[in-house]
Amino acid sequence: MDLRYWQSFLKDKVTEYLKNGFLVSLQAPTGSGKTLFSILVSFQVKPKVLYVVRTHNEFYPVYREIRKLNKTYSFIIGKSSACPFVSGDVDPEDIKCSSCEIYNSAKITVDESPFAFIKKIKKDGVEKGYCPYYSLLGSIEDSDLVLITYPYLFLPYLRESLDINIEDFAVIIDEAHNLDYLNDLQERKLNQNIIQLAKNKVKNSEVIKILDKLEVEIRKSVFSDDKYILMDNYPKLTEDELDILKDEYELEREEAVKQKKISRIYLGNILKFYTSLSEAKVFSYKGSLVSKPLTSRDMLSILNANTSFILMSGTLPPIEYMKKIMGIERRMIYIDVEKEVKSKITGNYTCMIATDVTSSYSLRTTEMWKKYASYILKIYHLAEKHILAVFPSYMIMEKIMNLIEVRKFVEKDKTNIEEIMEKTKQGKTIIAGVARGKLTEGVELTMEGKSLISDVILAGIPYPSVDDFLKLKAEQIRKITGENLIDLLISVPAYISVKQAIGRAIRSPEDKANVWLLDKRFDNIMWKTKLRCYNPRKVKL
C-alpha cells in the first residue's frame, strides 16, 4: 500500500510507543490520512481494533478505509437506532427488550456499509425473528475492527454490554478534542415541555396530579438565561411520588413493545432526572433544570487502563490540559504531525484581523452588531464560494444575522446537514452557526473531496461563559490538583473552537481559505501563534 510521506515517516515511531505502553496523542489536520494511519499502526500492535467515534455519521470514513485492508469489521449502534419497532427520537431505556418477541440474536456477518447493513437487518430481523441490536453485539467476536460511539467506551454499563476484554484491543478515539465534554452524556434535563409531553400519554389521574404540581413548580423556579445558574432549591418529588411514576413508566414500556410501536416515553426523562441527582449539581439553563457531573474525569479514567490507546484530532488540547483537566495520568506521547515532518500536509488559509469590532461583553451594543453585519455582508460579496460564520452564542448570532438579508442558513437546535445541503444548492450562502455547535463540528460541504467553503468568519471570540457551572468545575479541579486552572478552562476551549471552525474550510491538501478574525482581541501573540497566523492582514470597515 502506498503511504503518504508523513505516514511512512511516523509509522514505526508510533507503533513502538504503543508497544511500550504509551498513550499516543496524534494531532493531524483534516484530510491528512490519519484514519488509515491509526488503523495500520493499531494492527501492528494488537490483532483487534476498537475504533471509537462521536456519532454514527463518522462510521463511513472508517468503513471506507477498512475495506482497503482486507479486514473484517462490525459496528455497534444504540438500541433506539437498531430496533425495528422504534419511530422517532427514543431513549434506549424506553425499550423493554425482555418483553419483545424477537429478543434473541442471530449469527451475522457485516458485509456492507453500516447504514446499508442496519437497514437490511432491521427488515430481516422482523421477518426471521431476531434482534438486530443483540446480533450486532454477537458479531464483535469474529470481527477484526469494531466501530462504536463514545458512550460504549466511556459509560461503564454500556462498555460492559460489549462483553470484551478491552486489553485485547488497540483503541482509536477520533475527534478527541471532544473528550472533556463527555459529562454531557450524563446530562439530564427537565422542563415544562417535557412534563407536558409526558402528561399527553398518561391516563392515570394520580400521575397527572403529580405532573401538574411539578409543572407549576418548574415554571416558578427556572430562568431563561443562556448560562448555567446553580439551583440549591428546585422542585423535588417524594419517594412515593417517584414510585407511582415508575409504575406508570413500566406500563408504558410494556405496552409500547406489545404494540410494536415504540416512541419516546417522557416519563422516563423525568425519572432519569431525579435518579441522577446524587452524583450531579442542578442548574437552571435556558428555561430548563439541568443536572450533570462537573467534569468528565471519572469517565476518562478508562484511558489510564493498561490498554493501547490512540487519541486523534486536528485540534487536540495541549498536554497540560489533558493531564490536569482531563485526568490522564499514564505515560503519554504528544505527536503533532506537521511539527514532526516540518511541513504543511493539508490545505492553507490566509488570516485577516478586524481591529474595530469585538464581542467583549462590555461593548455589546446595537451599533456593534450593525458593524459585524456590515463586515459579513462585505465578505459575502467578496467570497468565491460559501461562507461559514461562527458566533460565540445563539444570542449574538441572532442579533447580527437578523440584520442580514442575503441568502443565509442559520443554525437551530434541530438543524441537520441535509437542510444545509439543500440550501447551498441554491447558490452562495452564509452558513451561520455557534461555536461548539453542530455546524462547526459536523458540516462537511465538499465536492470531489474539496471544500465548498472559501471563507470562514469568526464573529467574536467564543470564550465559554464564566457561569456557575464553570466556576464549580474549576473549584473541583482545584481540589484535585491544588491549582487554579480557570484560565486554562477558558482559553483552551476557545482556541479549539476557532481551529475547528477553520477546519471546516480545509478538507483536502488543495484547499485554500480566507479566515476573517472579527475581533480586535485576536491581535495578540497568543492567538496568532495558536492559529499560525503569523503575519495577518489587519482590516477596518
Structure letter (DSSP) for residue 262: B
Tens of pLDDT along 375-418?
Answer: 999 999 999 999 999 999 999 999 999 999 999 999 887 666 67
Closest CA to 400 of 357, 362, 436, 440: 357
Q: Radius of gyration (Cα) for the chain, nearest Å?
A: 24
**In 10 A of CB 296, how many CB atoms?**
23
Q: What is the mean pLDDT of residues 100-125?
A: 95
Same domain, 32 and 170: yes
> With bands split at pLDDT 50, 70 and 90, how would you rate the model's confidence at 443?
low
Q: Does 50 map to a domain?
A: yes
Triad 491, 492, 493: Cα angle to 5°:
100
Closest CA to 158 of 266, 79, 226, 86: 79
Same domain, 371 and 463: yes
Tens of pLDDT along 207-235?
Answer: 999 999 999 999 999 999 989 999 999 99
Q: Are 35 and 62 in contact (CB under 8 A)?
A: yes
Q: Does 17 map to a domain?
A: yes
For 354, the domain range is 348-539
> With bands split at pLDDT 50, 70 and 90, how would you rate the model's confidence at 149?
very high
Q: Are 189 and 290 in contact (CB under 8 A)?
A: yes
**What pLDDT is attached to residue 184?**
94
**What pLDDT is attached to residue 342?**
92
Distance, in Å, from the CA atom of 475 to the CA atom of 488, rounded to the nearest integer, reads 13
Contacts (Cβ under 8 Å, ≥6 apart) of 349: 456, 502, 505, 506, 512, 513, 514, 515
Q: What is the pTM of this model?
A: 0.92
Tens of pLDDT along 477-518?
Answer: 999 999 999 999 999 999 999 999 999 898 888 899 999 999
**What pLDDT is attached to residue 387?**
95
Would you call 154 helix, strand, or coil by DSSP? helix
Q: Does 420 map to a domain?
A: yes
**In 10 A of CB 418, how many CB atoms?**
8
Tally the domains of the chain: 3
Would you call 348 helix, strand, or coil by DSSP? strand
**What pLDDT is attached to residue 168?**
95
**What pLDDT is attached to residue 415?**
66
Q: Does 332 map to a domain?
A: yes
Same domain, 44 and 166: yes
Same domain, 397 and 469: yes
Q: Are strands 229-230 and 281-285 parallel, antiparallel or unpaired?
A: antiparallel
> With bands split at pLDDT 50, 70 and 90, how would you rate the model's confidence at 278?
confident
Q: Are strands 288-292 and 188-190 parallel, antiparallel or unpaired?
A: antiparallel
**In 10 A of CB 247, how many CB atoms?**
12
**In 10 A of CB 82, how many CB atoms?**
22
Burial class (CB in 10 A: 0-12, 13-18, 19+), 259: exposed
Distance, in Å, from the CA atom of 507 to the CA atom of 30, rounded to the nearest integer, reads 6
Phi/psi at 490 (5° precision): -95, -45
Same domain, 173 and 212: no
Tens of pLDDT along 173-200?
Answer: 999 999 999 999 999 999 999 999 999 9
Same domain, 230 and 308: no
Q: What is the mean pLDDT of residues 251-279?
A: 93
Residue 227, domain CATH: 1.10.275.30
- Quick one: what percent of the chain has pLDDT higher than 70? 99
Helix axes 192-201, 205-221, angle to 10 degrees: 170
Q: Does 291 map to a domain?
A: no
Tens of pLDDT along 281-295?
Answer: 999 999 999 999 999
Question: Which is higher by pLDDT, 444 or 113?
Answer: 113
Domain final residue, candidates 243, 268, 286: 286
Domain final residue, candidates 286, 313, 332: 286
Q: 441 pLDDT exceeds 80? A: no
Tens of pLDDT along 510-541?
Answer: 899 999 999 999 999 999 999 999 999 999 98
Alpha-helix runs per DSSP H in 83-233: 114-128, 132-138, 151-154, 156-161, 192-201, 205-221
Grid coordinates 477498512 are at which residue?
66
Q: Are 445 and 403 in contact (CB under 8 A)?
A: no
Q: Are 62 and 157 in contact (CB under 8 A)?
A: no
Q: Does 511 map to a domain?
A: yes
Q: Does 326 map to a domain?
A: yes
Same domain, 174 and 256: no
Same domain, 306 and 233: no
Q: Are strands 188-190 and 332-336 parallel, antiparallel or unpaired?
A: unpaired
Domain final residue, candidates 264, 286, 308: 286
Would you call 125 helix, strand, or coil by DSSP? helix
Residue 58, domain CATH: 3.40.50.300
Same domain, 281 and 308: no
Same domain, 198 and 272: yes
**What pLDDT is attached to residue 476?**
96
Same domain, 87 and 171: yes
Give me the amino acid identity at 228.
Y
Same domain, 164 and 219: no
Q: Are strands 145-149 and 73-75 parallel, antiparallel or unpaired?
A: parallel
Q: Does 435 map to a domain?
A: yes
Q: 321 pLDDT exceeds 80? A: yes
